[in-house]
Homo-oligomer: A and B are copies of this chain.
């Protein structure tokens, strides 16, 4: 995730660990409809119901800078989980919270941290159903969120088809701009500084948008942009067995301002971003215009068209009349 220092073992990355885990766990049993690798796992408590579960741990100094207000750290931790449910088209239902508290943590600090968790849960209309309390070397928040969906509305990363339009539910890069602003206070000012800070500190998980999009049979695949569009689109392509061509990057205003300030290309900055928690959606081409119009009417902002899917594999970026293959520039926590 974005706040990570890029250090750690050079010998293997997240993919190698996931492969090891898949080998250890063996094939999923029949009742487990999707397992390791998608945004959330799905199981079937009864024929007409699907339950989903996802888990995310946030660790002080790794996922959030120590300077981040604890209330915001709690909010972000919950938002990451809600976003994983949103990405599958599920309605958030409840969450458990495991708190690790460092020595000397005060009740006031716990109230701030947990208050942020609850604020985000309330926005998503989900209940906190308990958890675990323990001491830890640094503040740790591990949240597991559970959601529910009707079987026909579940979306995975794997359903996208060649020809589909790829879109996002909003602009990208503002969260990364907020992280850079926190690292270098004063590097942005005015409205864009506000936007950057709030995109990073209180990201909005798109569960309403997820429910709306999941109701359409023309939405073939969804996931959330938690590790940067370049990385996440590559994952969607891999899961669906397609390739993608990016035609337009929806750059957020704060991202554009920060990229200008850093002397970097705004689109590349937004592409690498991460933790914007916008949903990445593959939509049948004939249905795109109508769905985008309904989306705008409902949410008051556009469904951002990013590009198209094709046969093949990999992700290309078309601009200035040239189409070039791009690498994953987002986050691998262990690379």
Q: Judging by beta carbons under 8 Å apart, are B94 and A57 in contact?
A: no
Closest chain B residue to A126 by CB distance?
Answer: B29
Q: Which of B17, B24, B31, B43 contacts A118 (CB 8 A)?
A: B24
A32 to B43, CA, bound (A): 19
CB <8 Å contact, B93 and A31? yes
Q: Which residues of B contact A11 (CB under 8 A)?
A: 106-107
The chain B residue with its CB closest to the CB of A131 is B55
Tell me the A77-112 residues at the B interface (CB within 8 Å).
Answer: 93-94, 96-98, 100-101, 103-107, 110-111
In the assembled complex, the CB of A91 is this many whole angstroms from the nearest CB of chain B, namely 11
Q: What's the nearest-Cβ distance from chain B to residue A51, in Å?
A: 6
Contact B133 A32 (CB under 8 A): no
Given the complex, which residues of B lie within 8 Å of A29, measured CB to CB?
A: 127
Cross-interface CB contact of A36 among B43, B129, B135, cutoff 8 Å: B129
Chain B: CB-nearest residue to A5: B135
- A132: interface (CB < 8 Å): yes
Instruction: Determine whether the beta carbon of B55 is less than 8 Å from that of A110.
Output: no
Query: Does A301 make an interface contact (CB < 8 A)?
Result: no
Residues of the B chain whose Cβ atoms lie less than 8 Å from the Cβ of A190: none
> Are A103 and B28 interface neighbours, CB within 8 A?
no
Is there an interface contact between B132 and A334, defined as CB atoms closer than 8 Å?
A: no
For residue A7, CB closer than 8 A to chain B, the reply is yes
Contact between chains at B59 and A129 (CB < 8 Å): no
Residues of A within 8 A of B (CB-CB), count: 77
Please tell me if the beta carbons of B55 and A98 are within 8 angstroms of each other in the complex. Answer: yes
**A297 is an interface residue with CB less than 8 A from chain B:** no
Contact call B43/A46, Cβ cutoff below 8 A: no
A106 & B9 in contact (Cβ 8 Å cutoff): yes
With an 8 A cutoff between CB atoms, is A265 at the interface?
no
Chain B residues whose C-beta falls within 8 Å of the C-beta of A131 in the assembled complex: 21, 36, 55
The residues of B that contact A55 with a CB separation of less than 8 Å are 96-98, 130-132, 142, 144
| B-chain residues with CB within 8 Å of residue A62 when the two chains form the complex | 134-137
Whether B54 lies near A130 (C-beta < 8 A) is yes
- Cα distance, A45 to B1, chains bound together (Å): 32
* Known A43-B129, A118-B24, A144-B55; contact A16-B100, beta-carbon cutoff 8 A: no
In the A-B complex, the 5 residue pairs with the closest CB atoms? A41-B129, A142-B142, A144-B144, A55-B96, A57-B98
